[in-house]
Structure 1
Amino acid sequence: MPAPTVLIVAQAGRLQAEALLFAASLAESSPTASLVVAEPQPGPLWDDDPRMDGDARAALDRLGARVVPFEARRFGQAYPQGNKIEALSVLPAGTPFAFFDTDTLITGDLAAVPLDPDRPAASLRRKDTWPKPDIAGHGREAIWRALYDRFDLDFDASLDTAHPPDDWRRYLYFNAGFFHFRCPHVFGQRFLHTALAIRDAPPPELTGQSLDPWLDQVALPLVIHALGGGRDALAPGWIDGRTSCHWRALPLLYARESDAIVALLERLAHRPDLKPLLARHEPLRRLVLEGEGARIRAMFDRAALPPDERAIRKRIRAAGLWLR
């Protein structure tokens, strides 16, 4: 099966540096994949010009990526996570796609991943981040049921009944760092409609719940469920496994990920064509190019990591190495 068209969003700053690493890893590990980099353009929803610099654009071109502009009409700087929703419009209708956050390394051939284009899936490497049931007295079930009812979806069919009602894993929830489907327009239009409806007119059960930065991850399971996907739409072990690593933050990568991932990151970052560009981004310069990430790595035993990510972050901050 051919690899889907891969879509990422990149703009000036950290994301352009991450995009270079993503593109280099994709070109190496999945050479038949086509990469589109959606780039937001200046407009009333941005305080500063979000476009990448010319050197980064040229490097992406050499890596085989195609940079395509788009306008932020609904989110922009106030909620940059919304870029991934609006960026789906840059792909042609009917194009099977896989979206990835830029803070991801591709480690295997995406053509080998058994993606069913008719059953959307998303990343299951997630945590109990939303909702927070005790904020206004509504439990998880009441909150999620209200959202499914709002969009006329079968809430009961979405449940994993192996877990009790107070367990967050009972409810469909994804990390929005990866998702795929057969058509970016069908997916994107539903994603946009769902996210805007939740943002602009949330049901009463969401009173007190934070939607920043969680709006995309609140809307995503509703979209996937509505389009016939679910937690079982992709066999485990592929995404955020043998074919990709969503590392999220460089300090966490050094603390948690495998030796193979660290070696891949450092090899790509030291490529002569990428190193001068990546050195402009302080976290990459210090942690990867100057080797300070090794200090973080030495602080943790990968076989016995603290179960709470906050403990990992706290230890790294205490060492003065929480760089993003």
Structure 2
Amino acid sequence: MSSKNTVQRAADQRALRTFALWMGWCISSLTVFAMLYSKANVIGFVQNDSTRITWIILGMFVLGVAVSFMQAMRMTAEWFRAYKIEAMVMKKGLAGVTLRGGRHIVDRFTDALRTIAERNGRVDVESLVDVEFSAQHRTSQFVGLLGNLMITLGLIGTVLGMTITMNGLHGALGALGIDQSLLVDGLRTAMNGMGVAFYTTLMGSVLGGVLLRVFSWITDASVNGLQDLMIRTYLVYAAADLEPSDDRDLRALDASVGQLSQRMELLHLAMQASRKEMIGLREEAGLMYHELKELAEDDPIRQLAVGHARYALSVRPGFLNRVFARFRN
């Protein structure tokens, strides 16, 4: 019993690796944000950015982190379920796995394997696992795509900032020696353009090219690891259940007989409970019959009970006649 609990705790700890790695990188991202805020005054520039490119970059980063977090939580739950399925397959094979519907990907994968085995088909485990987990790969790729788009927006911001800088310098040179205020405005515009160029490049490369790509790698690596676990589990512990053979048919038949026996036991328990209820009903009917016999003929309660009894006899005459006949005898 203690060894079983030790194995279960070890499996639970392994299932938390994706979440722990994601949280560790999230803390690193917050540290980078703090450094950018304290050293480069990024937040102040974002608030005053007239081009709004940094707003778009920051919004895409928040979206990517949110999607990555939800996927990390989903994969953590899948890892927990996968280790439980591994333990069941190690003990009883493919037929001994108790599924929980289609909420988990690993349950759907197991159900697909079982369906193919029941139809005596040949199983391509690697192709099937790629199909079942393809949606999770696409989610990780979407997060990586957001990172690439953020880098592209940073480059666009660089070009736009340099354009603003050139326009500002052109205005400043045109106002040189003519209008001091126009000269100052031109220089201010040029400096603003340089800020757009540098800040958009900085945010696009750091947030998209580094932080968001690592978030995408964490979840994608988790999906790949889960695929490897499921392939290894069924190829090692359920290989005999995946190849068409007479032995596999016998094991499937034994599993079906076992399930049928469990259902028969449940039906037997239900019938026993119904029998107890019927005995209680008969006792209540007998008690009511004796109490009615003791009442006077003109008692209103007896008259009401007689009316209900006549109505019941008209609806179900056979059953009530048998019940009351036993007490008369």
Rg larger in structure: 2
- What TM-score do the two structures reach when normalised by structure 1? 0.21
User: Which protein is richer in helix relative to its size?
Assistant: 2
- What TM-score do the two structures reach when normalised by structure 2? 0.20
